[in-house]
Structure 1
Amino acid sequence: MLDTPTAEVPPLSLADEAADPAAFAAALGDSFERFGFAVVSDHGVPADLIARAWAMTEAFFALPEDTKRSYFSAGGGGARGYTPFKTEIAKGATHVDLKEFWHVGRELAKGHRFAAQMAPNVWPDQPEGFRETFIELFAALDVAGDRLLSAIARHLGLAPDWFDHAVKDGNSVLRLLHYPPVPADAAEVRAGAHEDINLITLLLGAEEAGLQLLTKEGEWLPIKPPEGAMVVNVGDMLQRLTNHVLPSTTHRVVNPAPERRGHSRYSMPFFLHPAPDFLIETLPSTITAARPDRYPTPISAHDYLHERLVEIGLVKK
């Protein structure tokens, strides 16, 4: 299949949301309905914080393999800490992905009601300032995510604060991704074709070529955000909640052109999840005669997440 250079995910500015919430919600919703993706600038996450996070990410992944693996929990399902190279596999794929990653979750108070479902964070001894940087970045992405969910709610005809109860103390995850240099004869790709599990994903670092989405026409479309913009995409939980009005689009990260194969690629997706006890139940407004309910049986966010983690090899049955 060929790329489609004439199609493009339109750039949006979250700054417009404050001036005209309805217009921004319509533009965001239109982008999601067409592509399952949006490109959003002026998202409010400070540039200096992002730069610090990139430096921390590169420094951590440059550590010796034994040091990194000391933060890996074999029975933890990749929920927190380090996951080694060639561990995750896309659903239905035959080759594992060419990546290693680190997960940061929500910091919960002692005795929190979700402590059994949301593991405590693992923090490395180095680089210095790692914990403080990523707690701050997690909080900033949480705020940006709340603003985007408010716009999504408006687009769906819901109250702007509809998602607030869903994501309060949600099981969101910040993933620090490292795709090492790729051998010329690699049979695998950096990240096989897949869909995300969560409500929405906020991605930093897509300026480096490689991310592609599968269009409704069956063609792979490269995503090329402006410098500093984030890429936002619909996850399977939101697709299920909206009865596929907002589609969770298949996407992948392909291997680079020959001249870039000796370079690493880094990205930071923030997977915005609802709370574990949130019930994913089809919104009545998305059910019509032409669009019958695909999911008549509700499921909790925790149970749905577990099902999907088994499928991608992070949790064993």
Structure 2
Amino acid sequence: MNIIPSVNLKDFISGDIDKKQQFVDAIGKAYEEIGFVALKGHFLDDTLVENLYQEVKNFFELDTETKRKYEIPGIGGQRGYISFGKESAKGKKEGDLKEFWHFGQYVDDNDELKAEYPENVIVEELPEFNKIGKETYQMLEKTAKYVLRALALHLNLEETYFDNYIHNGNSILRPIHYPPITEEPKEAVRAAAHGDINLITLLMGAQGRGLQVQNHKGEWIDAIAEDDELMINVGDMLSRHTNNKLKSTIHRVVNPPKELWGTSRYSIPFFMHPVSAMKLDVLEGCIDENNPKQFDDITAGEFLNERLIELGLKKK
């Protein structure tokens, strides 16, 4: 498969049984074959998206000293600012050519989870930044809930199977700034080839060239969304839970051609995580003679911790 299939979430929530089933079949097939879809009909409106990009640009244009105030030690980069070159892909020494921010979960009905998660970090200089970040987070979380409902049906599970696991899940909204490239990068790229850790990722800002996905033949293909689309891919947690029936696809963000080095790139992924206690044990329905169980039992929290250490964001 050399193109990313496009689906419309409005078909799934339309109330039309046939349209709903067509959506389930299309997204299921795409995630078994390439691990990515472009999704229309999500819950973000144009004004919110516009406002978010403006606030994100405003933040990254602050001077380095001001941004560094919001880099919080000791939490593995789970909230606030993460400065340029701090994160590297699994197995890579070079830090990626990016700086980013993390918004996390807003828990208001579970004191235990509220205590488990770090607090969101408030940017004093930008009064709208946190408000718009929270609204975007919640609209993407709502979109992700319906995508996972469709996948539950595809896997012959109860439609709401994932709902309790993702309510108050450890999800992250990550506005990323890839600054202009000022000199020939030695080895580093904007984001080296990697798979995502989580259940699914919803990506805003894949409208220009840069994001590439590796198909089953090992070829890199461009993943470019239409203006009204989110790019959504399967993460390692969901791949593991489904015995690799749903594919977590390796992807990367390549450096632009030299004539575009002087430009910034912004992208905003939402990493949908479940609560830490969710068991990622392989689903019984995804094991058969031809597909024996491939993964050991593990919880989402244990798996996340392992990966944060591999990424250099957490110490052992």
Fold match (TM-score > 0.5): yes
Pairwise mapping of residues 72-111 of structure 1 onto structure 2 (< 5 A)?
72-109=71-108
- In structure 1, the partner of 2:146 is 147
1:257 and 2:253 are equivalent in the alignment: no
Q: Which amino acid letter does the alignment assign opposite residue 181 of structure 2?
A: V
Q: What SS class does the counterpart of residue 15 from structure 1 fall into?
A: helix
Contact residue 189 and residue 255 of structure 2 kept, 8 A: yes
Shift >6 Å, 4+ stretches: none
Q: Which amino acid letter does the alignment assign opposite residue 8 of structure 2?
A: S
- Listed one character per residue, the Cα deviations across residues 54-73 of structure 1 (whole Å, up to 9, x for unaligned) are 00000000000000000001
- Listed one character per residue, the Cα deviations across residues 276-297 of structure 1 (whole Å, up to 9, x for unaligned) are 11111111000011000012x3
Q: What SS class does the counterpart of residue 51 from structure 1 fall into?
A: helix
Pairwise mapping of residues 2-81 of structure 1 onto structure 2 (< 5 A)?
7-17=2-12, 18=14, 19=16, 20-81=19-80
1:223 and 2:218 are equivalent in the alignment: no
Q: Which amino acid letter does the alignment assign opposite residue 192 of structure 2?
A: G
Contact residue 53 and residue 134 of structure 1 kept, 8 A: yes
Sequence identity, in percent?
Answer: 40
Q: Which amino acid letter does the alignment assign opposite residue 15 of structure 1?
A: K
Count of aligned pairs between the two proteins: 311
CA distance in 2, matches of 1:108, 1:206: 29
Contact residue 114 and residue 276 of structure 1 kept, 8 A: no
Structure 2's unaligned 5+ residue stretches are none
CA distance in 2, matches of 1:294, 1:197: 17
CA distance in 2, matches of 1:48, 1:139: 15
CA distance in 1, matches of 2:111, 2:97: 36
Q: Which amino acid letter does the alignment assign opposite residue 96 of structure 1?
A: G
Q: What SS class does the counterpart of residue 269 from structure 1 fall into?
A: strand
Q: Which amino acid letter does the alignment assign opposite residue 99 of structure 1?
A: K
CA distance in 2, matches of 1:7, 1:85: 33
Q: What SS class does the counterpart of residue 212 from structure 1 fall into?
A: strand
- Listed one character per residue, the Cα deviations across residues 161-193 of structure 1 (whole Å, up to 9, x for unaligned) are 111121111000000100001134112100000
CA distance in 2, matches of 1:127, 1:229: 28
Deviation at 1:316?
1.1
Q: What SS class does the counterpart of residue 92 from structure 1 fall into?
A: coil
Q: Which amino acid letter does the alignment assign opposite residue 13 of structure 1?
A: N
The alignment's TM-score, normalised by the length of structure 2, stands at 0.96
The alignment's TM-score, normalised by the length of structure 1, stands at 0.95
Contact residue 181 and residue 262 of structure 1 kept, 8 A: yes
Deviation at 1:208?
2.1
Contact residue 279 and residue 297 of structure 2 kept, 8 A: yes
Pairwise mapping of residues 86-235 of structure 1 onto structure 2 (< 5 A)?
86-109=85-108, 112-187=111-186, 188-235=188-235
- In structure 2, the partner of 1:240 is 240
Contact residue 146 and residue 164 of structure 1 kept, 8 A: yes
Q: Which amino acid letter does the alignment assign opposite residue 216 of structure 2?
A: K
- Listed one character per residue, the Cα deviations across residues 5-51 of structure 1 (whole Å, up to 9, x for unaligned) are x8211211111112322110110011111111111112121111111
Q: What SS class does the counterpart of residue 103 from structure 2 fall into?
A: strand
Contact residue 200 and residue 232 of structure 1 kept, 8 A: yes
Contact residue 200 and residue 272 of structure 1 kept, 8 A: yes
Q: Which amino acid letter does the alignment assign opposite residue 235 of structure 1?
A: G
- In structure 2, the partner of 1:290 is 290
Deviation at 1:94?
2.9
Deviation at 1:87?
0.2
Structure 1 residues 161 and 69: alpha-carbon distance in aligned structure 2, compared to 1, 3 A threshold: same
Deviation at 1:212?
0.3
Contact residue 80 and residue 103 of structure 2 kept, 8 A: yes
Deviation at 1:117?
2.9
CA distance in 2, matches of 1:173, 1:35: 24
Q: Which amino acid letter does the alignment assign opposite residue 271 of structure 2?
A: F
Q: What SS class does the counterpart of residue 113 from structure 1 fall into?
A: helix
CA distance in 2, matches of 1:204, 1:221: 18
Contact residue 2 and residue 215 of structure 2 kept, 8 A: no
CA distance in 2, matches of 1:35, 1:212: 12
CA distance in 1, matches of 2:115, 2:47: 35
